[in-house]
A and B are shown apart, each in its own frame.
Chain A
């Protein structure tokens, strides 16, 4: 059973556009992480959000953790081809990471 649903599943946009990826669950997590994964590589941690309502910015990326700690969003401003990849949210549940279903982003020049 997949506890974390991401939407959209696929996203194909032009360079310069903005986008938002959503990560939703019915479970409460102690913290939530966002990763980006390139083909043939392991996922790379982008950010960890811990507090409900927390907003973190990482250059053009803005991460938000829902007040109830059940959902999160990732907003990318002025997307660039280098942002292309698989974006994964992951909730920390007891001793494990539960990964979301993933959002595959393709940014065309």
Chain B
């Protein structure tokens, strides 16, 4: 089956640090990748959608300068949380989808837990 790998799985860093999270599709080409954020005991909230080779589309209320997304290849997307602060602490999950159209399944990574001290 389709496998999506996220790295790192857990990161703890000081306030003001920039943190990069990688999302890789291991056995398929991901034309679209999605980044979600999940606070404790809450559901997944879509942050942005990225298509390979083009700029990401951010959801309302998500700061694009704060959360930099790069999708330079069909197997890799990165999310960089710039100048992270404690309120950015959360569980970040990516998903990847091959093909086009919303009907294609999204395959989820195992998430990255980000803790900002």
Contacts and interface: CB of A to CB of B under 8 A. Distances in A.
Contact of A97 (B101, B106, B110, B111): B106
A80 to B, nearest CB: 23
B44 interface: yes
A43 interface: yes
A84 interface: no
Given A96-B46, A96-B49, A42 B105 contact: no
Given A41-B111, A42-B108, A42-B110, A88 B103 contact: no
A100 B110 contact: no
A31 to B, nearest CB: 7
Given A42-B108, A42-B109, A44-B108, A97 B103 contact: no
Nearest to A100: B43
B34 A97 contact: yes
A13 to B, nearest CB: 18
A42 B111 contact: yes
**For this complex, into which size category does the number of interface residues on chain B fall?**
20 to 34
A75 B27 CA distance: 33
Interface of B: 4, 6, 32, 34, 36, 41-46, 49, 91, 93, 95, 101-103, 105-106, 108-111, 113
Given A40-B111, A41-B110, A48-B105, 17 more contacts: A2-B43, A40-B91, A40-B110, A42-B109, A43-B108, A44-B108, A88-B44, A93-B102, A94-B102, A95-B102, A96-B46, A97-B46, A97-B95, A97-B102, A99-B46, A101-B42, A101-B43
Q: Which 10 A-B pairs give the minimum distances between C-beta atoms?
A: A42-B108, A102-B43, A99-B44, A92-B102, A99-B43, A95-B102, A42-B110, A41-B110, A42-B93, A42-B111
10 contacts: A31-B103, A42-B108, A43-B108, A45-B105, A92-B103, A96-B46, A96-B102, A99-B43, A99-B44, A99-B45
